[in-house]
């Protein structure tokens, strides 16, 4: 019986290993080959308004959570989001030393629903690119992303991964690319 299982299992295992050679591996992405070009600067954290805190629903260092009172961070949510946005833009190939165009944002919603597993993280972010010399808004959009993660994961990792999804959506927006070029 063991021999019969190995006859069936071996070809399946070998074919599964070969899928990554044909680009079917989920970790590879078609846009990884061509990094977008653009330059801008990212505004300080004070320019990333955390609306749930400004509305009085939560404290500035708390992410809304359906299962308990909230996810409490050591720093303010706007600081964590701003740093994560800047880091992911840099990884995506943007130059962050150009003071002519400035990216700021408004965190309209950041929550986690972890009543059940997996937890569902939601980030609704308004991005605004401003021409620094004229103070005119040259681009504005809202990106909403949802991400599932294990219920008992690191909050830092979950926040980073959720912001990364939002930045990925931003850099795929042709209007954003045009605004920063």
Q: What pLDDT does residue 3 have?
A: 54
Inter-residue contact 111 to 57 (CB < 8 Å)? no
Is 23 within a domain? Answer: no
- Pairing relationship of beta strands 119-131 and 137-149 according to DSSP bridges: antiparallel
Lowest mean pLDDT segment, chosen from 14-23, 45-54, 128-137: 14-23
State yes or no: pLDDT of 25 exceeds 60. Answer: no
Inter-residue contact 57 to 143 (CB < 8 Å)? no
pTM attached to this predicted model: 0.78
Grade residue 20 by pLDDT with cuts at 50, 70 and 90: very low
Is 2 within a domain? Answer: no
Mean pLDDT, the chain, rounded, equals: 83
State yes or no: pLDDT of 14 exceeds 70. Answer: no
Is 16 within a domain? Answer: no
Is 149 within a domain? Answer: yes
Is 150 within a domain? Answer: yes
Count of CA atoms in the C-beta half-sphere (13 A) of 132: 14
CATH number at residue 95: 3.40.50.10610
Is 8 within a domain? Answer: no
In DSSP terms, which residues pair with 124 in a beta bridge?
109, 144
Grade residue 72 by pLDDT with cuts at 50, 70 and 90: confident
Grade residue 33 by pLDDT with cuts at 50, 70 and 90: very low
- Structural domain span for residue 52: 35-179
Q: What pLDDT does residue 30 have?
A: 41
When divided into structural domains, the chain yields a total of: 1
Beta strand segments in 51-160, E: 62-65, 71-72, 101-113, 119-131, 137-149
Q: Which residue has the higher pLDDT, 14 or 3?
A: 3
Question: Cα 46 from chain centroid?
Answer: 19
Is 81 within a domain? Answer: yes
Is 91 within a domain? Answer: yes
């Amino acid at each position: 019986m063991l021999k019969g299982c190995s006859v069936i299992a071996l070809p399946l295992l070998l074919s599964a290993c070969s899928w990554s050679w044909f680009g079917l591996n989920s970790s590879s992405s078609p846009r990884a080959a061509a990094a977008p070009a653009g330059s801008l600067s990212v505004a300080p954290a004070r320019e990333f308004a955390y609306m749930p805190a400004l509305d009085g629903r939560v404290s500035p260092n708390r992410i809304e959570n359906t299962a308990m009172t909230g996810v409490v961070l050591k720093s303010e949510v706007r600081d964590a989001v701003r740093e994560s946005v800047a880091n992911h833009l840099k990884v995506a190939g943007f130059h962050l030393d150009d003071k002519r165009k400035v990216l700021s944002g408004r965190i309209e919603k950041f929550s986690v629903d972890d009543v059940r597993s997996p937890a569902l993280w939601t980030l609704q972010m308004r991005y605004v690119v401003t021409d620094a010399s004229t103070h005119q808004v040259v681009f504005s959009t809202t990106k909403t992303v949802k991400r599932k993660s294990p219920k008992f994961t690191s909050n830092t990792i979950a926040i980073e991964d959720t912001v990364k999804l939002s930045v990925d959506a931003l850099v795929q927006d042709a209007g954003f690319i045009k605004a920063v070029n």
